[in-house]
Amino acid sequence: MNTEYENDKAASDNSESDHNTIKSIIKRRKELSDNLLEYEEVIKAYKKEARYIDCVQLPEAMQEFGLDSFETDGGIKVKIKQFVKASIPSETAINRATTTEARALLIDRRDQAFESLSEMGAESLIKSKIEVDMPKGSTHEAEVLTAMLKESGYDPTKKDTVHAGQLSSWAKEQLEQGNDLDFDVFGIYQGTEAELKLGRRKI
């Protein structure tokens, strides 16, 4: 009887030890998760402050002293440059619109932007993606051209997108050439920002 009791007690102790090990691992995992969330918020705040320094504080300070470039004793080179940002409402932005009116305005602006790009010979900036909902096992049909899909009774969905960086570069080039652009349609804004380099590395 004593042997049986001792065996049961040993098994119970081992089980409790195993549970404690698992609990310890879970606790550590939770600590890591909490730390990651905290660090992400800290990084987000640092990025926001760095952006403010680059786009507001440094340009204003250097403009005050009539400088467009500067180098510190530590070898950090600062150069003030002009920038142009442009954007077209994305599907995500349209879907997130809180009212029907806001959604309609974004769709209208998006349509106008694509139309303007085509009219200005910049259609190459537009990336088109065609999607169609098809039943399982339709691998062969999926390879058929859009026109053939329509003839087969399918209804393809065409999505057009423009890379924000490419659009901004194009908009800057157009403005530098003196071409007129609709700032509202393309969501264009201009400004100055500081570019910091240490050697070849941007900081």
Cα(82)–Cα(63) distance, rounded to whole angstroms? 13
Cα 68 from Cα 41, distance rounded (Å): 33
pTM of the model: 0.63
pLDDT value at residue 9: 54
Query: Which one-letter amino acid corresponds to residue 30?
Result: K
For the chain, what is the mean pLDDT?
87
Choose between 2 and 176: higher pLDDT. 176
Strand, helix or coil at 71?
A: strand
Average pLDDT of the segment spanning 122-145: 77
Per-residue pLDDT at 3: 59
Q: Which residues neighbour 182 within 8 Å (Cβ) at sequence distance 6 or greater?
A: 112, 116
State the Cα–Cα distance between residues 100 and 105, nearest whole angstrom: 9
**Predicted confidence (pLDDT) at residue 76 exceeds the cutoff of 80:** yes
Closest CA to 134 of 146, 118, 122, 123: 146
Q: What is the pLDDT of residues 146-181, one digit of tens each?
A: 677 777 787 777 788 999 999 999 999 999 999 999
CB atoms inside a 10 Å sphere around CB 149: 17
